[in-house]
Chain A
Amino acid sequence: MSSSTIVIKAPSKRRNNPIYAHASEVFLVTPGDVITEDADYMRGHGTYTNAGDEDNKLYASVAGVVERINKLVCVKALKTRYNGEVGDVVVGRIKEVQQKRWKVETNSRLDSTLQISSVNLPGGELRRRSAADELTMREYLKEGDLISAEVQQVHNDGMLSLHTRSLRYGKLGQGCCVVVSPSLIKRRKNHIHNLPCGATTILANNGYIWISITSGDACNEGDGGFNVNKEPVPLEEREVVCRLKNCIQCLAKSSVMLYDTSVLYAYESSLQYQVKEIMSEKVSLEIVNQTISLLEREKTGDG
Chain B
Amino acid sequence: MATDSRRLAVPQSSLDPKSLCPAKVERLLNDEEQRLDGRYSSESRGIYLQCGTVSQAKGSCYCELGNTKVVCSVYGPKDVEHYEDFQMEGKIKCEFKYAPFSCSKHRGHIPDLSEAEISDVILQALTASVRLQCYPKSLIEVFIIVLENDGSAVSASITAASLALADAGIEQYDIVTSASVRVYGNGNFLEDPTSVEEYRPQDFDSESGGDLNHGLVTVALLPTLNQVCAVLSNGHLECDVLVETIQMCTSLAQNLYTAARKCLLSSVKSVDQNNA
Which A residues form the contact surface with B (CB < 8 A)?
Answer: 19-20, 22-23, 25-26, 28, 30-34, 46, 48, 59, 61-65, 77-81, 109-111, 157-159, 183-184, 254-257, 292
Contacts and interface: CB of A to CB of B under 8 A. Distances in A.
Contact of A78 (B88, B174, B271): B271
A110 B173 contact: no
Given A30-B265, A32-B223, A256-B274, A81 B173 contact: no
12 contacts: A28-B272, A30-B166, A30-B261, A30-B265, A31-B166, A32-B175, A62-B169, A79-B271, A80-B169, A81-B77, A158-B136, A257-B275
Nearest to B172: A31
B79 interface: yes
B223 A30 contact: no
Given A32-B225, A79-B271, A109-B138, A64 B276 contact: no
Interface in B230-276: 260-261, 264-265, 267-269, 271-276
Contacts of B175: 30-32
Contact of A110 (B59, B137, B174, B268): B137
A28 B265 contact: yes
Interface string B159-172: 00000001111111
Interface in B88-137: 88, 129, 131, 135-137
B269 A23 contact: yes
B274 A254 contact: yes
B224 interface: yes
A37 to B, nearest CB: 14
Contacts of B271: 78-79, 255
Contacts of B268: 28, 63-65, 78
A224 to B, nearest CB: 27
A158 B78 CA distance: 12
A256 B274 CA distance: 6
A118 B267 CA distance: 42
B136 A46 contact: no
Nearest to A46: B171
B222 interface: yes
Interface in B190-213: none
The main secondary structure of chain B at its interface with chain A is loop
B68 to A, nearest CB: 23
B250 to A, nearest CB: 16
Nearest to A81: B77
B35 interface: no
B167 A79 contact: yes
A157 B134 CA distance: 9
Interface in B141-195: 166-175
A62 B171 contact: yes
Given A62-B166, A157-B136, A158-B136, A48 B173 contact: yes
Contacts of A22: 276
Nearest to A253: B271
A61 B172 contact: yes
Contact of B169 (A26, A28, A78, A159): A78
A28 B268 CA distance: 8
A217 B24 CA distance: 84
A285 to B, nearest CB: 13
A292 B166 CA distance: 31
A283 B169 CA distance: 31
Contacts of A34: 224
A23 to B, nearest CB: 5
B131 A61 contact: yes
A183 B225 CA distance: 30
Nearest to B129: A31
B201 to A, nearest CB: 37
B173 A61 contact: yes
Contacts of A78: 169, 268, 271-273
B273 A255 contact: yes
Given A32-B225, A78-B271, A79-B58, A63 B276 contact: no
A31 B174 contact: yes
Given A65-B268, A65-B272, A81-B77, 4 more contacts: A31-B166, A32-B173, A46-B171, A78-B272
A62 B172 contact: yes
Nearest to B175: A31
Given A32-B173, A79-B59, A63 B224 contact: no
B117 to A, nearest CB: 27
